[in-house]
Amino acid sequence: MQHNCESEFAVRFERVAIESLGFVLPPHVVSSADLERQLTPVYDRLRLPQGRLELMSGISERRFWDPGEAIGKPSSESARLAIESSGIDPQDVGCLIHASVCRDYLEPATACRVHAELGLGPQCWVYDVSNACLGLLSGMVQIATMIEHGVIKAGLVVGTESSRNLVESTIQSLNQNLGLTRRTIKPSFASLTIGSGSCAILLVDREYSRTDNQLLSCVARAECQHHQLCQSDTDRAGADMQPLMETDSEQLLHAGVSVGVKTFEQLLSEGFTRDEFDGTVCHQVGATHRRLMLDSLDMPSENDFSTFQWLGNTGSVALPTALALGLKAERIKPDQKVALLGIGSGINSVMLSTLWKQPLVAGDLDDNAVANLELADGNPAAPRFRAECEASIS
């Protein structure tokens, strides 16, 4: 592993392969129109136009798990898919990190349940990591560092996000708050864009890899003076939690993009050029974030793969799931170099450079997922709503 002080703490990896990815999509599809129908009381009171949510976010759908679904259950399933598809002996997994925002308990670590259900060995490092939407990317870096130093030969990072309780709590709170105005309702709208999903990433020493999909380098940047721009109200765990979240979406957008631009420059300083990247995968926030981020980085949108239009913002699993689906849909092809552009509230940014040789992804697609993958990028709201909705924002 090479550390370059001149490139602001960039790290290059020589021994790390991204061997496989596993994902699980929740069964319940919930449209933005469905949510707005549930918000009819507050929409009518404030004279908000239907279609506003999709227009502002570009998100037409998101998914929910069954009510009461434990976080560890889909995490174990997506982790098992990643291991079984790779052919790696589970006893060779030397580190398991559960890295989503959502977890089953405050203690023990949700990783403990996944470890037990996968039948991993007693020599395995097992713990949870929490870093907002960067959890899985942070876990990847930790595992890659252990592999690079020869501590382990394989490691697995996994997470599951569940948005049902957050979205339902937000809807209930908004409908009950008779004091809301068009201005004071704004910090709650980001909560309605959150979706659910599960994803796992298996990394191995290249000596044991069958695919040789390479993790080339990583960079990170922290500008935590912005930590107040997106905050959840409680620190609770489990299927019965009822969280609420407030987000200053406009300031978060511009601060996040600013941090992202600086982090990408760090990534390029490792000897890459923009033209060298055949594709990108951003954190899946929404249409405005994606457009402004790619424009600011001077990277072409046609080479970026996104899923937020039909999965919403799935937090820590958003970028990894988009990567997995981009590989499965063959939008990311063998021998392509791809930049993973992660940004999380705090604000932190982690970006990775990768090279794909033999993409290996396991996970089932239902008819809805297949249809969405066949659509071109972008899912704008109906034009007839545009003028009315844009006027209502001011």
Active site residue 161: no
Active site residue 69: no
Amino acid letter for position 247: T
95, 102, 124, 133: which is the annotated catalytic residue? Answer: 133
Q: What is the DSSP string of 92-112?
A: G--EEEE--S--S-SSS-HHH
Check if the beta carbon of residue 101 is closer than 8 Å to that of residue 198: no
Check if the beta carbon of residue 153 is closer than 8 Å to that of residue 74: no
CA 261, chain centre distance (Å): 19
Check if the beta carbon of residue 329 is closer than 8 Å to that of residue 23: no
CA-based nearest residue to 18, from 324, 310, 390, 312: 324
* Distance set, CA 126 to CA 98, 129, 140 (Å): 8, 10, 14
By DSSP bridging, strand 2-4 and strand 61-64 are unpaired
Q: What phi and psi values does residue 140 have, to the nearest 5 degrees?
A: -60, -45
Q: What is the DSSP string of 319-386?
A: HHHHHHHHHHTTSS-TT-EEEEEEEETTTEEEEEEEE-SS--EE----HHHHHHHHSPS--PPPHHHH
14, 107, 276, 330: which is the annotated catalytic residue? Answer: 107
Four-residue CA torsion sign, 130, 360, 22, 299 = positive
Helical (H) or strand (E) element with 209: none
What is the set of active-site residues?
107, 133
